[in-house]
Every structure is written in C-alpha cells, then in structure tokens.
Amino acid sequence: MERSVALATCRELPLLDPDGAGVLAAFERLGVTAVPLIWDDPAAPFSDFDLTVIRTCWDYVPRRAAFLEWASRLPRVINPVAMLEWSTDKRYLAELGAAGFPIPTSWFFAPGEEVSVPEGRCVVKPTVGAGSRGARRFEEGEAALAIAHARALQKEGATALIQPYLDGVDTSGESALLFFGGAFSHSITKGPMLEIGGVGRALDATGLAFAEQITPHEATTEERALAEQLIGWLPEIPTYARVDLLPSPDGPVVVELELVEPSLFFQMTSGAEERFAQAVVDCLT
Ligand SMILES: Nc1ncnc2c1ncn2[C@@H]1O[C@H](COP(=O)(O)OP(=O)(O)O)[C@@H](O)[C@H]1O
Ligand SMILES: [Mg+2]
C-alpha cells in the first residue's frame, strides 16, 4: 500500500510556503504521497494519512490550545505533541538556561505580574508568538513604552518576555541551523527583524509574519557545536528542528528552538528537501 503524509498548513498558505513545491516533489521521488491540508478545516481528511507533519500552521498563535488539542487527536503527528507544546511557549528558554545553554538574559512576566525592564535597549515579545508578531524593540529612555507594550501583551493573556536587545544582530544577523532526523542539514542568516520605532513594519503576503531578509550562511564551528549539543539534549530526536542563534559579546546565544512550524529555507541550499523528506519517511517504517 502506498504510504502517505499530510503536510499541515493554514488557510493563508493552502499550498505551503515557497518551499512547498520542492518538498512535495521530494516526497514523490521517495514514492510517498504528500498532500497539504489545512489544519483547522473540519473537512480535511487527516485521519486518512499515515502521518501528519506540522508545516506552515502560522495562524495557531492566538489559539494555541485549540491547535495543540487538534494535534493530539491526530493518529500520528511529527514532531510529537509534547514537543509541539513545549516549543510553542518561549518559557522553555528558562529551561535551556538552567541546563547551561547560553540564552539572552530573559525575564518573564505572566498576566498580573508587575513588569520591570532592564537598563538600555530591550526587546519585549509574547512567549507564544511567531513571525516576529508582537515583538518590539525599545531604546534607552523608552522604559515606559516597553512596560506599556508588555502590559498590553499581558492584557491579551500573554506572558511577556523581556530581553536586552542584542545589537550584534544589526551587523551579523541571526543564524538559523536546520536539522533533519537529528543531523545538521544547512544554515542561513536572517537580517535584524526589529526596527527602532517598530510599528508599521511590512508584513509578508500572508499577513502572518514580517518580511524577512534571508541569505545563505555557513555556520561557524561554535554555532554548529552549540546547536548540535542542544538537539542532543532534547528527550528525543526531533524529525525537524531549527536552532536560531543571535550574536552576543560572549558568543552565540539561543533565541529560539523551533520544533513546530519553522521556515526551512530550502531555497538557500541544494538537496535539503530530500534530507527533510527522508527524515519524515524514516518515521513511517
Ligand atoms: N534579544 C533580542 N535582541 C535582538 N533582536 C531580537 C531579540 N529577540 C528577538 N529579536 C529579533 O526579533 C525577531 C523575532 O523574535 P523571536 O524571538 O525569534 O520570535 P518569533 O517566534 O516571533 O520568531 C528575531 O528574529 C530577531 O530579529
Ligand atoms: Mg524567530
């Protein structure tokens, strides 16, 4: 019997992101039927597929609980539900820090908690977020604005995450390292996402993420070692993972460990669709 994989997406991206066509072709070459399906479409036949892979479900943010509940009802989902739950709330950064991984200094303020901000530039963002939505940068002297943004997030029910602004991102960008089946595949650089003043930045065509500047990047030995350690530290090997690193004066720090709906940037390299599809197909056996 032919094996089949559902690739979960959102209404704004019925055919996945620009990497989608290449991914579908890679599955076809492996003899596996792969079909994009919209996660919150009640008519989408997820249960007809051997496996669902979470892909471009970028609209889950305001309804994370419903998204996780949907995922938990699937016959089989990649990455596993426990990973989806863990990776959709940046409070996991505190765990990474406690385990000895370098992270940006991070303060968390749940709804109702009194907010305070550090000296100097800072970033205020929701712990449940994607596509840089809700993330804003504040300059020295803008503490009142930063606190107001954190309170606005809290009012929406979000936990506010506040970090010093790591300004190395303005010159060196953010590195993203992609892993499939636990093995390093490729890496890219993303330009800085947060502008002074912030509001009025351009959303991409989906309206779900801010436009990004992506370039190919060869991960440094230090970045690679850190990302590999982090993947090895997880309780099980994720089928796909993206480790996002920001430059700091003390070396790279982990800003995000994306195990849910990361862009995979296949267009910045060659052969990575194959590695991704193979890692998924390996889960079918
Ligand atoms: N501490 C920080 N210093 C500098 N830039 C940051 C910091 N935190 C986030 N950013 C910028 O904001 C963007 C979005 O933040 P991120 O934590 O990656 O959340 P998201 O899940 O929305 O991608 C990052 O890609 C980066 O450009
Ligand atoms: Mg990010």
Starting at the edge strand found earlier in the chain, the sheet holding 136-138 runs 107-109, 160-164, 122-126, 136-138
Residues near ligand 1 (Cβ within 6 A): 104, 123, 125, 129-132, 135, 163, 165-166, 169, 174, 190, 192-194, 244, 246, 255-256
Of 89, 194, 242, the residue with max ligand 1 atoms within 8 A of its CB, to mutate for a pocket test, comes to 194
Which residues of the chain fall below pLDDT 50? none
In contact, 125 and 184? CB cutoff 8 Å: no
Residues contacting residue 202 through CB under 8 Å, at least 6 positions apart: 210, 211
Q: Exposed/middle/buried for 109, CB within 10 Å: 0-12, 13-18, 19+? A: buried
What is the predicted pLDDT for the residue at 198? 72
Domain spanning 92-102+167-263: CATH superfamily: ATP-grasp fold, B domain (3.30.470.20)
CA 1 to ligand 2 centroid distance, Å: 39
Specify the CATH number for 107-164; select among 3.30.1490, 3.40.1710, 3.90.79, 3.20.20: 3.30.1490
Q: Three-class SS string for the chain?
A: CCEEEEEEECCCCCCCCCCHHHHHHHHHHCCEEEEEEECCCCCCCHHHCCEEEEEECCCCHHHHHHHHHHHHHCCCEECCHHHHHHHCCCCHHHHHHHCCCCCCCCEEECCCCCCCCCCCCEEEEECCCCCCCCCEEECCCCHHHHHHHHHHHHHCCCCEEEEECCCHHHHHCEEEEEEECCEEEEEEEECCCCCCCCCCCCECCCCCCECCCEEECCCCHHHHHHHHHHHHHCCCCCCEEEEEEEEECCEEEEEEEECCCCCCCHHHCCCHHHHHHHHHHHCCC
Domain extent listing, the chain: 3-87, 92-102+167-263, 107-164
CA 81 to ligand 1 centroid distance, Å: 24
User: For atom 15 of ligand 1, which residue has the closest CA?
Assistant: 132
Nearest atom of ligand 1 to the alpha carbon of 166: 3
CA 130 to ligand 2 centroid distance, Å: 6
Which ligand is nearest to the Cα of residue 128, counting in written order?
Answer: 1
User: For atom 26 of ligand 1, which residue has the closest CA?
Assistant: 193
Nearest atom of ligand 1 to the alpha carbon of 163: 1
Q: Does 3-87 carry CATH code 3.40.50.20?
A: yes
User: For atom 24 of ligand 1, which residue has the closest CA?
Assistant: 193
CA 194 to ligand 2 centroid distance, Å: 11
What is the average pLDDT value for the chain, to the nearest integer?
96
What is the predicted pLDDT for the residue at 81? 98
